Structures are given as C-alpha cells and as structure tokens.
C-alpha cells in the first residue's frame, strides 16, 4: 500500500491578526460585546440588536471585516472599524497525517505557540484545542508538562482555534448551519490539547459559551468535552457554568502511583476527586463522565489495577477510555503491550463499563494525545528534571 505523503505547508487563507491597538470582538461574550459597543458610542437601546447582527456575521458567517456587514449602515461600519477588530490567531504551519488528522501550529500574541489537532472520523470530526501555552502541572508522562513557559490563553485565542479550523475546513457558513450536526466536518470539541482548562476557567467558559451559542457555531454542550487532571474545586463550577461533558485524567488506582503520574493528586487525592465526581450534577447514564487511563507498561496496567479501578468508580455514571501511552523523545515510560491493554480492557468491560481503547491518531505528525508541545519553545525541562519530578 502506498502511503500518502505527510504534507506541511503554510496556510494561505488571508487573515487578520490581533493588532493590539483595537478591541478584538472575538472572544467577548454577548454581554461583553454589547458593553463594548455601547462604550464606543452606540446608543444603549440599539445594543442588543447590533450585537446580534455583528455576532451573526462573526460566528455564523465567519467574516473578519466590518465592510461586508451589509445590514449595518456604511457610516457605522466605518466607526466600528476604527475601534474594533475581528482577529484570530495566526496559523504558522499545518501538517496533515496519512490518516487525515490535521495538526496546526498556531501563534498567539507575544509569539507563543500552541497546537490544535483536527481528527476526522466516520460520523464526526473532533477538534482538540489548547487552553494554555504549556501547563503549570507536571504529569510525568505528558510532553506538554515538560514545557516550562506558560500563559493562559484568552477566550478569543481559545474560540479562535475553532474559527481557524473552520476556515481551513471551509465550513463557513452553509455547512455550519446544517441542521444535521453529524454532517459537519467539525462537530465536536475536546479540551484535551495543551494546558489544564480548569486553571483558565473564565476564558475556557466564555469561549465554550460562544461555541454553544445557537446563533453561531451552535455546538451542543454534549459535543464539548473538557478534560481535567483533577482540579477539584472547579469541577462543580464546570457543570454549573459551562455544562459540558467531563473527562478526568485518572491514570492510577492508588495515591502512591497517582502522586507520581499526576502530581496534582498530592493536593486533591483520589478520594477527594471521586467525591467531586460523585457530586457532578450533570453526570447521568446518558451523560457519563469519561475516565481517561493512560496505559504505562508495568506502572499502572496490572489486573489488580483494573479491578481496583472499577471498584473505585462504582456508583459513578462512567465510561473508561484506555489510552495507549504515546511516546515522545525522552519519555520515562513505555506503552503497555497490546495483550496487556486487552486484558485490562476485558476486566473493565466485564465489570459493566464500556472501555474503548483510544486509537492513536496522527502519530506520524506527533499529534496524538499528550505529544503536543511547540517544538519551537526554547525553555524546556531536562530529562533529569522530568525524572526527578516523577519521583523516579
Ligand atoms: N490537562 C488536561 C487536558 C489535556 S491532556 C488533562 O490532563 O486532563 C489530554 C489527555 O491526554 C489527558 O488524559 C492526559 O493525561 C493524556 N495524555 C497526556 N500525555 C499523554 C501521553 N504521552 N500519552 C497518552 N495520553 C497522554
Ligand atoms: Fe498538564 Fe494535562 Fe499534561 Fe498533566 S496531562 S501536564 S495537566 S496537559
């Protein structure tokens, strides 16, 4: 079989980058946009209507300039252009894997870079977006955790990743409005890229509210999954203020092992995490919490681990997602064997849980889970530092 070549190119779609001088409308909530328009001189009584019109241009039609907003007067369009901009981050490179996965390297203000991955499947297309540059947490199996430099992304930079992907997929505006959401190329969002979304709560929330807004990108809250390493105090807020699906990076069945793999466990241990999940108001049989479990050879993959896992999560509407470890240069672990993963999955399945094994996608372009890290980032941790933090 001949394999399609990996392509890497610089995107040619014309785009406007944030200039810094003007207020970027991308990322503002509806209320925020209304307030900004009024502060710039719009009569208050027109606030709601104008916001609705501009919102639709930006998030339904995908336009980036005011001059095409034909339901606004020419004079008002010119005024808007003086104070505001409609700007999304810059795509530096796009790589397309032989399996169709696309990885974008995206540059945000300050020159930092984050990665965004689009994964096409038969009945859906999932965009994996980032919430931070790097991550302050240091999970020992995660490539992102080795990256030192961190800043939170703004709401505009988070929803901007979705807009960039739609630009590239050519999904403005007709397809986007298809009543059949399965027909969309971009039908699901997962917050599983770089960063811990619950350490950037407000921006993640505002961006996801924009993605869910029915007069725009219009994705159902059930098509958005937020993955957290276990920031316990923010879990209830996620249900209340975002209402999306929740995934948890569980990865171990004893505090000893979890302390090493997911160091936030030292702050909120397995018991505290499970208590918060039991109380997750949105969890039900139709909206299960996903337990992510990375399979690390000889570390967390024994039969005993599998039995302990199903015992621990008893009573929580859950599905278990087994992730074969994706290796990266210098990683202190190896992937469990296929036989081991199968044996583990069988125990979980026989206990009544669906236990899909996540098929790594885009491996040839290092786009798989936990491999994301901007290669251009200079500040890196050494192997020694990684090993020391993992307590190895
Ligand atoms: N910070 C969040 C979301 C980003 S990571 C979190 O930790 O949940 C998305 C998922 O990929 C998490 O479950 C994470 O534990 C997992 N992951 C990280 N590195 C990985 C690797 N090298 N191989 C497989 N999965 C990995
Ligand atoms: Fe951060 Fe998640 Fe990676 Fe842990 S697994 S270092 S929380 S991105």
CATH of residue 384: 3.20.20.70
Q: Do 66 and 186 have their domain in common?
A: no
**DSSP per-residue codes, 170-207:** T-TTTGGG-S-GGG-SS-EEEE-SSS-GGGSHHHHHHH
299 lies in some domain:
yes
Q: Which atom of ligand 1 is nearest to the CA of 194?
A: 4
18 lies in some domain:
no
Q: Do 56 and 96 have their domain in common?
A: no
Q: With a cut of 50, which residues of the chain have pLDDT below it? A: 1-15, 176, 374-383, 386
Q: Do 163 and 184 have their domain in common?
A: yes
pLDDT one-digit tens code per residue, 270-300:
999 999 999 987 778 888 999 999 999 999 9
Q: Which ligand is nearest to the CA of 129?
A: 1
Q: Do 50 and 120 have their domain in common?
A: no
CATH number at residue 41: 1.10.150.530
Q: What is the pLDDT of residue 21?
A: 82
Q: What is the pLDDT of residue 387?
A: 52
Q: Does the beta carbon of 146 lie inside 6 Å of ligand 2?
A: no
Q: Do 277 and 237 have their domain in common?
A: yes
12 lies in some domain:
no
In this structure, what token pair is assigned to residue 115? 């990665």
Residue ending a domain, among 49, 65, 85, is 85
Residue ending a domain, among 50, 67, 85, is 85
296 lies in some domain:
yes
Q: Do 159 and 262 have their domain in common?
A: yes
Roughly how many angstroms between the first and final C-alpha of the chain, as a whole number?
42
Q: Which ligand is nearest to the CA of 147?
A: 2
Q: Do 49 and 96 have their domain in common?
A: no
Q: Do 134 and 282 have their domain in common?
A: yes
Cα–Cα distance measured from residue 320 to residue 358, given in angstroms and rounded to the nearest whole number: 10
Q: Do 60 and 140 have their domain in common?
A: no
From the list 128, 142, 244, 369, the catalytic residue is 369
In 10 A of CB 69, how many CB atoms?
22
In this structure, what token pair is assigned to residue 258? 């979890």
Which among 369, 291, 390, 299 is positioned nearest to 340, based on CA atoms? 299
pLDDT one-digit tens code per residue, 130-154:
999 989 999 999 988 888 778 999 9
14 lies in some domain:
no
Q: Do 240 and 385 have their domain in common?
A: yes
142 is catalytic: no
Which among 192, 209, 17, 64 is positioned nearest to 118, based on CA atoms? 192
350 lies in some domain:
yes
Q: Does the beta carbon of 95 lie inside 6 Å of ligand 2?
A: no
Q: What is the pLDDT of residue 119?
A: 93
From the list 85, 90, 115, 234, the catalytic residue is 115
Q: Does the beta carbon of 265 lie inside 6 Å of ligand 2?
A: no
**Number of domains, the chain:** 2
Domain residues for the domain of 65 are: 23-85
Task: Note whether 151 and 133 are within 8 A (CB).
Answer: yes
Q: Do 51 and 117 have their domain in common?
A: no
Q: Does the beta carbon of 249 lie inside 6 Å of ligand 2?
A: yes
Q: Do 60 and 174 have their domain in common?
A: no
Q: What is the pLDDT of residue 374?
A: 47
Are β-strands 188-191 and 224-228 bridged in parallel, bridged antiparallel, or unpaired? parallel
Residue ending a domain, among 62, 85, 108, is 85
In this prediction the pTM is 0.89
Q: What is the pLDDT of residue 282?
A: 75
């Amino acid at each position: 079989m001949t394999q399609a070549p990996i392509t890497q190119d610089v995107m040619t779609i014309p785009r406007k980058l944030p200039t810094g001088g003007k207020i970027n409308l991308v990322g503002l909530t509806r209320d925020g946009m209304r307030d900004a328009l009024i502060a710039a001189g719009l009569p208050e009584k027109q606030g709601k209507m104008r916001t609705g019109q501009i919102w639709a241009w930006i998030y339904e039609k995908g336009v980036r300039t005011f001059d095409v907003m034909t339901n606004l007067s020419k004079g008002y369009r010119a005024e808007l252009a003086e104070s505001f901009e409609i700007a999304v981050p810059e795509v530096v490179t796009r790589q397309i894997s032989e399996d169709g996965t696309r990885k974008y390297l995206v540059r945000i203000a300050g020159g930092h870079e984050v990665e965004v991955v689009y994964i096409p499947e038969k009945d859906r297309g999932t965009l994996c977006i980032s919430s931070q540059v790097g991550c302050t947490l240091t999970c020992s199996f995660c490539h992102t955790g080795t990256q030192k430099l961190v800043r939170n992304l703004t709401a505009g930079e988070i929803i901007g990743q979705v807009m960039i992907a739609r630009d590239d997929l050519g999904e403005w505006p007709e397809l986007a409005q298809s009543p059949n959401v399965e027909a969309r190329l971009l039908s699901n969002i997962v917050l599983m890229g770089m960063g811990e979304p619950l350490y950037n709560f407000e921006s993640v929330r505002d961006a996801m509210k924009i993605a869910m807004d029915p007069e725009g990108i219009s994705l159902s809250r059930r098509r958005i999954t937020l993955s957290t390493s276990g920031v316990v105090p923010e879990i209830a807020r996620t249900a209340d203020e975002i209402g999306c699906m929740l995934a948890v990076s569980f990865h171990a069945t004893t505090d000893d092992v979890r302390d090493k793999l997911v160091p936030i466990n030292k702050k909120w241990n397995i018991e505290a995490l499970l208590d918060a999940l039991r109380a997750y108001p949105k969890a039900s049989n139709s909206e299960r919490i996903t337990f992510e479990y990375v399979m690390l050879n000889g570390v967390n993959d024994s039969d005993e681990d599998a039995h302990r896992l199903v015992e621990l999560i008893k009573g929580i509407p859950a599905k278990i997602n087994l992730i074969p470890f994706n290796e990266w240069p210098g990683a202190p672990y190896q992937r469990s064997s296929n036989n081991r993963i199968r044996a583990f999955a069988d125990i979980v399945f026989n206990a009544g849980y669906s236990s899909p094994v996540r098929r790594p996608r885009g491996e040839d372009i290092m786009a798989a889970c936990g491999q994301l890290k901007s290669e251009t980032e200079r500040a890196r941790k050494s192997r020694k530092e990684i090993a020391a933090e993992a307590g190895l």
